[in-house]
Amino acid sequence: METSDSLHDQLKHIVGESGILSEEHVSNYIYDGITPKVVVLPTSVQEVQNVLRFASKHNYSVLPAGAGTKLGIGNLAEKTDIVLVMTRLNKVVEYEPADLTVTVEAGIRLADLQTDLAKHRQFLPLNPPYADRCTIGGIVATNASGPLRLQYGTARNLVLGMHVVHASGTVVKSGGKVVKNVAGYDLNKLYIGAFGTLGIITEVTLKLAPLPVHQAIFAAQFQTIQDAVNTGLSVVRSQALPSFVNLFVNVPINQFQEKKPTLTVGFAGDPETVAWQLNSVQTLVEQSGALGVQTIGEESKNHITHAIQEFPAVDNASDTVLVKVNLKRTDIAEFVEHALEEACQMMVLLGNGVLYLKIPINSNTDFQQLADTLTKLRQRAIDLGGNLIIEIAPPELKRQVDVWGPIGSTVNLMKQVKTKFDAAGLLNSGRFVSSI
C-alpha cells in the first residue's frame, strides 16, 4: 500500500509544492470521519487533467471539492485517496453585461462573483446556503439552490454551458455561451446534480438577471399549519408573483413571540410594483385569518433574508441532521403534520414543494431508532409521490440508513451512464444513489 508521503511526492510533480495542502489544513476536508491521503489544489485545467490521469493509472479514488461545504452529502465511502479542490481556478473568463451572461472558472466563490456582477447592476439569481463560501462548481455539481428558485429556477435553468474533465483526463464541452444554443443532447443537465460522479466541472457559463431596485418582505403567523399552507399556496398562485413564499415551523421569526406556523413572503422589482405586490398579498393574507402580519423593516430585512437562505446550512453534523423532502405542493400540509411528531424545525419552500427538516442529536441519541423514524418518514414521502434525502448526518446514522433512498427503475440506466463516463469508478465513488 502506497503511503501518503509517496503519494504527496508524486502529485507534487504535477501541481507543485504549493498545490499540496499542508497537513494542518487537511482537516477542512475531513468528512464522515475520513481523512484524505492528499488534498491537491490545481491552478489550471491541464493540472486537473494530469491529476486525473495519474489517479486513473494508479486506481486512486478522487473526491472533487470546492469550498468543502457539501462534502458531507452522500453515503459512507470506503476511502478517499485524493481530494481535488478547485478553489484556485477562480477567474471570470468572459463577461458580457449586454447579453446577461458570464463564463467563470468553477472555483470562483459565489459571493465574489456577485460582487463583480453588482458593478453592472446584475446578479446570478441563485441563493444557496453557505453563501459566503460556496463555489460555482459546487453549486452546479450539487444543483444547490435557495428560496429564489420560485422566481428564477435552479442551476439547471441557469447553466448555458460548461467544461468538464472526465476521469480519463478528457475535456468535454457541453452547451454554449448564448441563451439560444443549438439543438442537440442537453449534456449540461447530466452533470448538474451528479455530485462529481461523472466528471469534474472546470468552467461554467451562466444566465444572469438585473439586480432588483427594491425588495420587501413580510411575515404572517397562523393558528394551524393547514391554514398557513393554504394561504401560502394562494399567494404562490396569485398575480403578485412573489420572489419566495416560505413556511417556518418551530422557528422564531422576527418580532413574533410564539413559534406558530409563520409565512415569509418576499418581493423584488421597482418600488411601485413592489408596493402593489406587498399591499395585494397582505390583504389576501389578512382575509385568510392570519393571527398577525408585519412588514419586515429595513433594519431586519438583511437578517431575515440571511436566516432564510442559511436555514439548510449545517456546519456540524454531530449535533444536527438535515433532511430534504420533495413533494407535490398539495401534500405539504399532511406531511408536515406527520413530521411534527419529531422534535424538529422546518422550512418549506411552498412554491416548489421542498421541505428542510432539522433534527437535533446529542450523545444520547439512539441512531437505530432515528434511522427507523427517518425510514418511516421516507416511506410516507414515497407514498405521497415524493422522496426524502438525508443531506447532513453523522457516520453513526449513515451506517444505519441509505441517505438517498430508493430511486426505482432508473438505477440500471444510471449505473450504465456512470460506467461510460467513469469506468473505474474513481470519482466520488460509492457515495451517490445506489452506491454509484
Amino acid 340: pLDDT: 85
Establish how many alpha carbons lie within 13 A of residue 68's alpha carbon, considering only the half-sphere containing its beta carbon: 17
Amino acid 324: pLDDT: 97
pLDDT exceeding 70 applies to what percent of the chain?
A: 96
Average the pLDDT over 110-117 and give the result: 98
Spatial contact of 384 and 357, defined as CB atoms under 8 Å apart:
no
Q: Using pLDDT thresholds of 50, 70 and 90, give the confidence band for residue 155.
A: very high
Q: Using pLDDT thresholds of 50, 70 and 90, give the confidence band for residue 296.
A: confident
Average the pLDDT over 185-199 and give the result: 93
Mean pLDDT of the chain: 93
CA proximity to 73, closest of 201, 203, 196 = 196
CA proximity to 66, closest of 142, 156, 165 = 142
Give the chain's end-to-end CA distance (angstroms, integer): 24
Highest mean pLDDT among 100-109, 176-185, 409-418: 100-109
Weakest-pLDDT range from 149-158, 159-168, 183-192, 244-253: 183-192
Q: Using pLDDT thresholds of 50, 70 and 90, give the confidence band for residue 29.
A: very high
Average the pLDDT over 168-197 and give the result: 85
Average the pLDDT over 172-187 and give the result: 76
Q: Using pLDDT thresholds of 50, 70 and 90, give the confidence band for residue 1.
A: very low
d(CA 158, CA 169): 26
Q: Using pLDDT thresholds of 50, 70 and 90, give the confidence band for residue 294.
A: confident
pLDDT at 338 over 50: yes
In the chain the domains, ranked by start, together with CATH numbers, are: 100-210 (3.30.465.10), 214-310 (3.30.70.3450), 320-405 (3.30.70)
Weakest-pLDDT range from 90-99, 297-306, 326-335: 297-306
- The 10s digit of each residue's pLDDT in 11-28 is 999 999 999 998 888 888
pLDDT at 57 over 50: yes
The values of phi and psi at residue 58, to 5°, are -105, 5
Average the pLDDT over 409-435 and give the result: 94
Instruction: Enumerate residues 6+ apart whose C-beta is below 8 A from 46.
Output: none
Q: Are strands 262-269 and 244-249 parallel, antiparallel or unpaired?
A: antiparallel
Q: Which residues pair with 325 in a beta bridge?
A: 355, 388
Q: Is 242 exposed, middle or buried (0-12, 13-18, 19+ CB in 10 A)?
A: buried
d(CA 432, CA 183): 30
Average the pLDDT over 148-165 and give the result: 96
